[in-house]
C-alpha cells in the first residue's frame, strides 16, 4: 500500500495522469524537469519512509519510480490465486510468485478469453475439421487424432501478446495485464504438421485459419469472437500441437477443453481454444482479431500517444525476449543471502544468459541458466544474492537471447499496448 492508503493500481494511475503531481503527493518532492533524473533530498526520505527501510543504492533510482514493493495490486480469488481482470469475457492472470514451478500447474495457468466458454466441453462427440486448400479434407474425433498420429508431450510457453500492457504510459486500451499472462505447462497431443500433411497441403497455401466453439459476447450465433491464423511455414514446424491433455490430464475448460492449438513463442491468440476447424488459405487470414489493429504494432517507432494510420500496422509474429522473477515474491522480507530465481524465454529462440542487478542497474550478476526442456519451453534460472547491508532493494532481471537481443529497461510505446518486455523487478526488505 502507498503512504496515502491507495493500492498499486491507484499509484500507477496517478503517475500516468500527472507524474509531477503524483511525485509531490506520494513522495513529497518536486519533480525534476528531466524525468530521467535521480532522487535527492526530501524525496529519498519520503521513499525510505514508504518502504520502511534504508535504500542502499538510492543514488541509482530513476526519477518517478514507484518502488516495486508498493506497486503490487490486490489479488482477487480466481483460479487458485489468479487475479481476475474482468469476467465478461473472463480473463485472469497469475501473480509472478505463483509461477515459480518449472512446469506451470493447470490451476495456475492464466486465462485469456475473447468470448464465452462453450456450454459443452466434453471430448465425446467433439470433431476437428481440416479443410480449405487441402487434397483430402479431414473430419477427426479426438480418438482419431490419438489413433492416427504420433502422440507427443512437450513443455510449451504460451504468452498473451498484451502481457505487460498495464505499464504503458499513456495507457493502452485492453486487458490491463501486468506480468502474469504467461505459462509453460506440459501439453499432450499431436503435431499440427502431421495432421496438415495427412490432409495434403496444396502448393498455393500461405496461411492457416483457426476456428473455435466459443460464443460471441453479443449472443449472436452468426458472430465469432476470434479466428486467427499463422503463415504455413510456421504451422509446419515441429513444436506446434493440437492438444487434448494438459499436465497429464484433460484440458481445463478455461484453457480450451477438450481440444486446442498450442503455438509456443507467438502471441497466445494463435493458440485457438475449443478448436473445431483449421482451414488452409491462399491469402493472409482475415478473421476476427486478424485485421485492423488487433494483435498488430506500428511498423516503425512512434511517439507516446501518437495517432498511427491503420495501414502502418503489421501483424505480431514472434514474441520478444523476456524474463520473470518468481522468487522471492515482490514486497517480502528476506535474509542477507538468498536465492533468486525465475524463467526466461524469447519467441522461436533460446536464451543465452540471464543477468540480475540489486543496485538499480549499476552492476549485473550472471545467473545460472538451464537449457529448455524442449524446443518451445521457457528456461529456468537462479542466482544466489548476497546483500551488502540491511535495507530496501530491488532485484532486476534481464535476459539475452540466442540472437544477442537483450531485454530492455523500457520499450517504445505502441497504441495497443503489445509486446511489453521491459525488465521485471521485485522489491525486497533485507535484514
pLDDT tens digits, 175-205: 999 999 999 999 999 999 999 999 999 999 9
* Residue 227 falls inside a structural domain: yes
| Set of cell numbers at residue 95 | 501473480
What is the distance between the alpha carbons of residues 43 and 379, in angstroms, rounded to a whole number? 39
Last residue of a domain, one of 291, 315, 339: 315
Q: Which of 35-44, 79-88, 90-99, 307-316 has the lowest mean pLDDT?
A: 35-44
Report which of 318, 373, 324 is spatially closest to residue 349, judged by C-alpha positions: 318
Beta bridge partners of 182: 159
> Are residues 270 and 361 both part of a single domain?
no
> Are residues 329 and 399 both part of a single domain?
yes
* Residue 47 falls inside a structural domain: yes
- The stretches of 130-171 forming alpha helices (DSSP H) are 142-148
> Are residues 158 and 65 both part of a single domain?
no
Count other C-beta atoms under 10 Å from residue 134's C-beta. 19
Task: Map grid coordinates 511525485 to a residue.
Answer: 23
Q: Looking at the predicted structure, is the pLDDT value of residue 72 above 70?
A: no
> Are residues 110 and 206 both part of a single domain?
yes
Q: Residue 254 in contact with residue 105, Cβ under 8 Å?
A: no
The pLDDT assigned to 62 comes to 66
> Are residues 108 and 17 both part of a single domain?
no
> Are residues 61 and 178 both part of a single domain?
no
Q: Which of 71-85, 119-133, 146-160, 407-421 has the lowest mean pLDDT?
A: 71-85
Number of structural domains (the chain) is 3
Contacts of 18 (CB under 8 A, 6+ apart): none
The pLDDT assigned to 36 comes to 33
The pLDDT assigned to 166 comes to 96
Helix (H, G, I), strand (E, B) or coil at 312: helix
Contacts of 366 (CB under 8 A, 6+ apart): 353, 354, 355, 383
| Set of cell numbers at residue 403 | 540472437
Count other C-beta atoms under 10 Å from residue 287's C-beta. 16
**How far are the Cα atoms of 97, 388, 390 from residue 393, in angstroms, in the given order?**
17, 10, 9
| Set of cell numbers at residue 224 | 465469432
> Are residues 202 and 267 both part of a single domain?
yes
> Are residues 308 and 328 both part of a single domain?
no
> Are residues 418 and 295 both part of a single domain?
no
Last residue of a domain, one of 315, 345, 367: 315
Q: Residue 176 in contact with residue 169, Cβ under 8 Å?
A: no
The pLDDT assigned to 32 comes to 34
* Residue 286 falls inside a structural domain: yes
CATH number, residue 403: 2.60.40.650
The pLDDT assigned to 247 comes to 97
Q: Any idea what DSSP says for residue 70?
A: G
> 56 — phi, psi (to 5°)?
-55, -35
Report which of 131, 153, 126 is spatially closest to residue 142, judged by C-alpha positions: 126
* pTM of the predicted model as reported, rounded to 2 decimal places: 0.84
> Are residues 111 and 95 both part of a single domain?
yes
The pLDDT assigned to 423 comes to 97
* Residue 248 falls inside a structural domain: yes
Tens of pLDDT along 236-249?
Answer: 999 999 999 999 99
* Residue 2 falls inside a structural domain: no
Identify the helix (H) or strand (E) that includes residue 21: helix 19-22
Q: Looking at the predicted structure, is the pLDDT value of residue 23 above 70?
A: no
Average pLDDT of the segment spanning 294-305:
96
* Residue 151 falls inside a structural domain: yes
Q: Residue 389 in contact with residue 267, Cβ under 8 Å?
A: no
Domain, as residue range, for 173: 87-315
* E strand segments, 30-97: 83-87, 90-93
> Are residues 344 and 285 both part of a single domain?
no
Tens of pLDDT along 310-360?
Answer: 999 999 999 999 999 999 999 999 999 999 999 999 999 999 999 999 999
Choose between 26 and 55: higher pLDDT.
55
Q: What is the mean pLDDT of the chain?
A: 88
* Residue 293 falls inside a structural domain: yes
> 121 — phi, psi (to 5°)?
-115, 25
CATH number, residue 177: 3.90.420.10
Amino acid at each position: 500500500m502507498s503512504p496515502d492508503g491507495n493500492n498499486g493500481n491507484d499509484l500507477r494511475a496517478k503517475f500516468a495522469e500527472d507524474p509531477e503531481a503524483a511525485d509531490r503527493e506520494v513522495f513529497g518532492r518536486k519533480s525534476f524537469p528531466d524525468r530521467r533524473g535521480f532522487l535527492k533530498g526530501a524525496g529519498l526520505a519520503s521513499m525510505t519512509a514508504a518502504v520502511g527501510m534504508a535504500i542502499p543504492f538510492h543514488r541509482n533510482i530513476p526519477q518517478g519510480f514507484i518502488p516495486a514493493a508498493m506497486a503490487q495490486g490486490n489479488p482477487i480469488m480466481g483460479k487458485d490465486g489468479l487475479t481476475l481482470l474482468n469476467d465478461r469475457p473472463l480473463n485472469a492472470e497469475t501473480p509472478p510468485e505463483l509461477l515459480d514451478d518449472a512446469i506451470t500447474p493447470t490451476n495456475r495457468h492464466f486465462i485469456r478469453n475473447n468470448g464465452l466458454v462453450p456450454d459443452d466441453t466434453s471430448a465425446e462427440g467433439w470433431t476437428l475439421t481440416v479443410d480449405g486448400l487441402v487434397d483430402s479434407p479431414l473430419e477427426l474425433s479426438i480418438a482419431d487424432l490419438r489413433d492416427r498420429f504420433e502422440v507427443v508431450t512437450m513443455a510449451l510457453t504460451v504468452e498473451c501478446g498484451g502481457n505487460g500492457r498495464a505499464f504503458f504510459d499513456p495507457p493502452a486500451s485492453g486487458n490491463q495485464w501486468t506480468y502474469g499472462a504467461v505459462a509453460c505447462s506440459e501439453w499432450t497431443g499431436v503435431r499440427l504438421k502431421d495432421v496438415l500433411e495427412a490432409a495434403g497441403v496444396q502448393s498455393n497455401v500461405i496461411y492457416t485459419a483457426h476456428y473455435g466453439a466459443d460464443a460471441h459476447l453479443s449472443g449472436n450465433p452468426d458472430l465469432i469472437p476470434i479466428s486467427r491464423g499463422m503463415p504455413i511455414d510456421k504451422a509446419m514446424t515441429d513444436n506446434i500441437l493440437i492438444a487434448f491433455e494438459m499436465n497429464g490430464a484433460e484440458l481445463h475448460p478455461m484453457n480450451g477443453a477438450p481440444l486446442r492449438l498450442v503455438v509456443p513463442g507467438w502471441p497466445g491468440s494463435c493458440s485457438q481454444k475449443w478448436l473445431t476447424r483449421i482451414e488452409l488459405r491462399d491469402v493472409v487470414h482475415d478473421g476476427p482479431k486478424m485485421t485492423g489493429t488487433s494483435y498488430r504494432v506500428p511498423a516503425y517507432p512512434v511517439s507516446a500517444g501518437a495517432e498511427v494510420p491503420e495501414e502502418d500496422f503489421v501483424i505480431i509474429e514472434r514474441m520478444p525476449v523476456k524474463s520473470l522473477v518468481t522468487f522471492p515474491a515482490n514486497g517480502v522480507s528476506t535474509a542477507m543471502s538468498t536465492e533468486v530465481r525465475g524463467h526466461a524465454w524469447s519467441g522461436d529462440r533460446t536464451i543465452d544468459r540471464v543477468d540480475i542487478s540489486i543496485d538499480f542497474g549499476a552492476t549485473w550478476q550472471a545467473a545460472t541458466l538451464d537449457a529448455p526442456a524442449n524446443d518451445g519451453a521457457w528456461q529456468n534460472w537462479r542466482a544466489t544474492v548476497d546483500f551488502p547491508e540491511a535495507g530496501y532493494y530491488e532485484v532486476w532481471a534481464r535476459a539475452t537471447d540466442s540472437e544477442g537481443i537483450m531485454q530492455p529497461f523500457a520499450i517504445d510505446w505502441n497504441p495497443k499496448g503489445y509486446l511489453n518486455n521491459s525488465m521485471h523487478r521485485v522489491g525486497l526488505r533485507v535484514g
